[in-house]
Structure 1
Amino acid sequence: MFEFFVAGGVAMYPTLLFGFLLVACSILFLFRPEPRYLSSLVGLGATTGAAGMLGFCLGLMNSLRYLHLVPPAEQFQIAALGCEESLHPLVLALVLLVIAGTFVSIGAVRAMGLFRAPAS
């Protein structure tokens, strides 16, 4: 996991920060499913996704910027490696969004009352 994080570069830090806040807010919503938390969840979810996408775009730009300096026989391998490393912030953002989405979905189901004990 550490190699995954390091390979993603500096763009992993804002993605992790916003994603951590998103997961923390989604856990809060899981235990207290109140509508007032939804705006924070939407904002943090969008920011986490945007940070991951920005990291991907910046990584791809930097990978392709110096591709002309590589010998033609190795350009495809270097471009493929650069694309793979550039995807790490986006993958981190998507993983955090899935985790948070799961917590929010469970909290929403709890808020609807589907898991309450039957009245006797």
Structure 2
Amino acid sequence: MFEFFMAGGISMYPTTLFGFLLVACSILFLFRPEPRYLASLLGLGATTGAAGMLGFCLGLMNSLRYLHLVPPAEQLQIAALGCEESLHPLVLALVLLLIAGLFVSIGAVRAMGLFRAPAS
């Protein structure tokens, strides 16, 4: 996991920060499913996704910027490795969005009362 994080570069830090804030807010919504938390969930979710996409774009730009300095026989391999490492912030953002989405979904089901025992 540490190697995954380090391979993603500097853009992993804002993605992690916004993603952990999103997961914390979704856990709060899980235990207190109140509508007032939905705006912050939406904002943090969009920010986490945007941070992951920005990290991907910046990584891809930096990988392709110096590709002309690589010998032509190795350019395809280096470009593929650069694209793979550039995807790490996006993958992290998607994983954190998935975890938060599960917590929010469970909180929404709890708010609808589907987990309550039938009245006797």
Runs of 4+ in 1 over 3 A off after TM superposition: none
Q: Among the aligned pairs, what percent are the same residue?
A: 93
Count of residues paired in the alignment? 120
Q: Any stretches of 5+ residues in structure 1 without a counterpart? A: none
User: Considering only aligned residues, what root-mean-square deviation do their CA atoms show, in Å?
Assistant: 0.4
Deviation by residue 1:41-72 (Cα, 9 ceiling, x = unmatched): 00000000000000000000000000000000
Compute the displacement of 1:109 (Å): 0.5
Q: How far off its partner does 1:96 sit? A: 0.1
TM-fit CA distance, 1:95: 0.1
**3-state SS in 2 of match to 1:10:** coil
Question: CA-to-partner distance for each residue in 1:10-49, whole Å, 9 max, x for gaps?
Answer: 0000000000000000000000000000000000000000
Give the superposition deviation at 1:76. 0.2
Question: How far 1:117 sits from its partner (Å)?
Answer: 1.3
Q: Match for residue 34 of structure 1?
A: 34
Distance (Å, rounded) in 1 between the aligned partners of 2:117 and 2:22: 30
Q: How far apart are the structure 2 equivalents of 1:102 and 1:32?
A: 15
- Distance in 2 (alpha carbons) for counterparts of 1:117 and 1:14: 42
* Alignment partners' CA distance in 2, 1:22 and 1:52: 13
Deviation, structure 1 residue 118: 1.4
Unaligned runs of 5+ in 2: none
Taking structure 1 as the reference length, the TM-score comes to 0.99
- 1:7 corresponds in structure 2 to 7
Return the offset for 1:75: 0.1
Q: TM-score, normalised by structure 2?
A: 0.99
Q: Kindly indicate whether residue 29 of structure 2 is the aligned counterpart of residue 21 of structure 1.
A: no
Partner residue in 2 for 1:112:
112
Shift of 1:4: 0.1
Give distance in 2, aligned partners of 1:110 and 1:26.
Answer: 13
